[in-house]
Structure 1
Amino acid sequence: MTERPGGYALNAPQEASLPHRPGARGRGARSNITGRYEGVTHEAFDDGWTEADGEPPKLATTVLKDASRTIISTNQSPDISFDQSINPYRGCEHGCVYCYARPSHAYWGYSPGLDFESVIFAKPDGPALLEATFNKTVYQPKPILIGANTDAWQPLERERQHTRDILKVCARYRHPISVITKSALIRRDLDILAPMAADGLVKAAISVTTLDRRLARDLEPRAAAPHRRLETIRALKQAGIPVTVMMAPIIPALTDHEIEALLEAAAQAGADNAAYVLLRLPLEIRDLFREWLADKRPDAAGRVMSLIRQMRNGKDYDAQWATRGRGTGPYARLIASRFRKAITRFKLDAPRAVLDTSRFERPLGSAAQPSLFG
């Protein structure tokens, strides 16, 4: 039995009514649910100290080196708008309980629960790997999405700066990128992003789940507050960067009533267009989210899960292409209709920016572009 850095593992119950779990202070998941590939499951035992102390303990972040030999990931999903991406980190300190990337931590033998947000794999070799890729004579430039799986500007980035170093490589090679984040830290990198945007090489998406500060803190404990994300939209737009606001995910009975107000606020901040994704609960996320509801929103738990099933063909999740991000049924159609009307009302219907791949060039002195005087 292997001890997990940063906590214990838990095999979450499968019954409809889940017990209260205190989690760890400043974290999103309420447990360290056992990954689906583990041969042994674990159950947490409450010896009474947490209740006696009045609050759960803090959980430190463990950082491990990711020794991957490549930096660009590719996908062929028909309902995803990009086909290559870069994730400078695996795992994410933001701790968003609904994060669709959580199940990926199980591949590495860690829990999609608390491990996902406290055991982070960093990629210090990412910039060098990217430069080596760009220098291959067979490489054909096409837009890369930075932060597709886990947030590239999560708190760890403040000290590690792996994302910033990757941006520097993209700027030097004039390679087109799109970025997505819910962190205000991206504003630190406007000195790189703004000049790239002037050449049509950058577009951005900012995720705003809710305008409710308390709900945001419970759902996304270490992400930027809602008003900071709106300020970030404004800062990016003022820097000349096309900005999409992503209401992702929309959670029925928790955030769907905010559609109009959130889009209006984003439009006032300068967003060009908007998109949304309906809450997805694949694999371990289902039980993690149900634990979170039992702890943080017990009065709404039944209503939330009922509406989710109404939009997922009677199940907690339906992985069908094309509908997994939108759902089906009357309630899903109502959300889609409200979103479309709000986009029109608040003029969030500007055409999506098309990035320029023709400017890509290998700088003099690179492995694939020797100096004229060398």
Structure 2
Amino acid sequence: MKSQEWGMHGLSTNKLCLLGLSLFSLASCLDPVIENQPLTAEPISASSATLVPQAAGTKVQLTGIVKNAKTQALLAGVKVRLNTLETQTDQTGFFAFENLEIGEMKLIAEAPGYQPQAVTVALKSSKQVQDLALEAQPLPNGENPSTLTPQASSTPYFLPPDTLSSPSPTPVPDATLQPQASGLPSPTPEATVSATPLPTPSPTATPLYDPALDEAKGTDIFLKRKPTGIELNFMLFKLSGAPIVWNWGVVQVEYYLAQSVITNGSSAAGELITSGKSVLTQSNEPFTVPLDSQRQALIGETVFINYTLTLPNTQQLSYQKEVKVNL
């Protein structure tokens, strides 16, 4: 009985030994270097990485079309200005400005027979589109040029050379008279009837600006401090001193703003704060000139400014003085 128990016990021991050997063999197959090696992230090669374009130094392209606001017809030959840059629309009404800096700019379109349009464009992305629609300039009688029907051919008519030295033409008889047969004497008009030739109507030039600008004889400026710079508001005045209110046209502005310093007991222009050019398209149209913190520190209670306004009729108004800066 005991011999059988020991036999069974020996068999169980052999099985355990075989199981232990199997586990040892399996463990020896594993690579100890790999098991004990810490996990690390492999670097990504430059060729497989996707680069994100940087905003610094980005140039902007601004394009658009100009059309008739009422008929939607595309307008060719329209003068389009972006601050100091200028171009014209092609036959499809298309215009484009290249290599622009990021920031705000004023876009203006003007053409004969249309009211100028001005919009402020915030240039942010590399490609932007800004379309413009021009309103037809109303004629003095209230008619709209876009609705007028051509009355006669524009082909000029030239008189024969032998008529150039002849006296003034004989008044044409009334159109209701019937032509006379050949050989019969022409009827003599009564003494009380006199045919006065009417003056030939000449086309009235459509102004490209508000006629009120022709009364401008003086100018002034209002300055206001802003968190990001300084606001400039130019004004025009009549000879009587009354302000001029105008609603369309283009007035060009060139300005130089300098620090106000005390020299020999009196105020004088010091270090230049900023300078630039802009355009105005109506009265009371202030604009802000951005300044960095260093330039803003140069602005005191007053500053010196030298500026010139060029009106649409080419008249120029220049002014140089010390101006108070309002808060």
TM bin, normalised by shorter chain, reads under 0.3
Larger-Rg structure: 2
More RCO (CA 8 Å, sep 6+): 1
Write 1 or 2 for the structure with the bigger share of helix. Answer: 1
**Structure whose residues are more often strand by fraction:** 2
- Normalising to structure 2: TM-score of the pair? 0.20
Taking structure 1 as the reference length, the TM-score comes to 0.18
